[in-house]
């Protein structure tokens, strides 16, 4: 199921849909322009749009890219949706778009995913608030544990804390 979901805000129509190859460049630009995400090679966003479109979403306002979420089903835990990146264009922040994109992916799959996971660095207050709010909105538990300690990264990256949310459906 990779249909389109349209919702409106007070100022514009928001379209939520699975990404297509033509969205990859905009996804790369949104990640780069966020100034907080680790920017992957542009090739990676093409792969996301091809291989993981069913577990990802692109938001557009009018014809303009407004945000995206990339995710995948964990190979060793196929009932778990792992969220890789969440990006919202600066002009569209503060309107709940990121949470709506997360809900779109989860709802698109019905009961396929019982849990959602992501990793967040301790200094990323916006992502911590987003995923905490998402757990609350779903009435789900939120567990936190360190997944990747800082010394594991060869480039001075901060530790990544695993946020595990679930069960998503009671």
3-class secondary structure, 21: helix
| Per-residue pLDDT tens over the stretch 125-148 | 999 999 999 999 999 999 999 999
pLDDT of residue 19: 98
Helix (H, G, I), strand (E, B) or coil at 110: coil
* Domain that residue 52 falls in: 4-166
Query: Do residues 100 and 14 make contact, with C-beta atoms less than 8 angstroms apart?
Result: yes
- The predicted model gives 50-54 an average pLDDT of 98
The angle, 0 to 180 degrees and rounded to 10, between the axes of the packed helices 24-34 and 42-51 is 130
52: its two tokens? 């993981």
The Cα–Cα gap between 74 and 70 comes to 13
CA 99 to chain centre: 9
Instruction: Quote the percentage of the chain above a pLDDT of 70.
Output: 93
Section 83-106 average pLDDT: 96
Residue 54 binned pLDDT confidence (cut-offs 50, 70, 90): very high
Q: Which residues pair with 80 in a beta bridge?
A: 115
How far is residue 60 from each of residues 52, 71, 132, 137, measured CA to CA in Å?
18, 18, 24, 23
Chain-centroid distance, C-alpha 167: 18
Write b or e for each residue in 39-59: b if 16 or more Cβ atoms lie within 10 A of its Cβ, otherwise e. bbeeebbbebbeebbbbbbbb
Give the 3-state secondary structure of residue 16: strand
Nearest Cα to 46, choosing from 17, 70, 81? 70
Helix, coil or strand: residue 147: strand
Tell me how many domains the chain contains.
Answer: 1
pTM of the model: 0.90
β-strand partners of 144: 163
pLDDT, tens digit, 9 for 90 and up, residues 8-32: 444 579 999 999 999 999 999 999 9
Instruction: Look up the CATH number of the domain holding residue 54.
Output: 3.40.630.30
């Amino acid at each position: 199921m990779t249909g389109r979901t349209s919702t409106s805000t007070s100022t514009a129509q928001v379209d939520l849909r699975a990404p297509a190859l033509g969205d990859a460049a905009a996804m790369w630009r949104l990640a780069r322009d966020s100034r907080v995400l680790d920017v992957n090679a542009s090739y990676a966003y093409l792969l996301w749009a091809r291989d993981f479109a069913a577990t990802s979403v692109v938001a557009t306002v009018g014809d303009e890219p407004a945000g995206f979420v990339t995710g995948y089903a964990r190979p060793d835990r196929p009932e778990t949706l792992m969220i890789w990146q969440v990006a919202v264009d600066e002009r569209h922040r503060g309107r709940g778009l990121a949470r709506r994109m997360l809900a779109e992916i989860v709802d698109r799959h019905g009961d396929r995913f019982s849990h959602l996971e992501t990793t967040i660095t301790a200094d990323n207050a916006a992502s911590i608030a987003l995923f905490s709010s998402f757990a609350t909105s779903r009435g789900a538990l939120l567990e936190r544990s360190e997944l990747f300690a800082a010394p594991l990264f060869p480039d001075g990256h901060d530790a990544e804390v695993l946020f595990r949310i679930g069960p998503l459906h009671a």
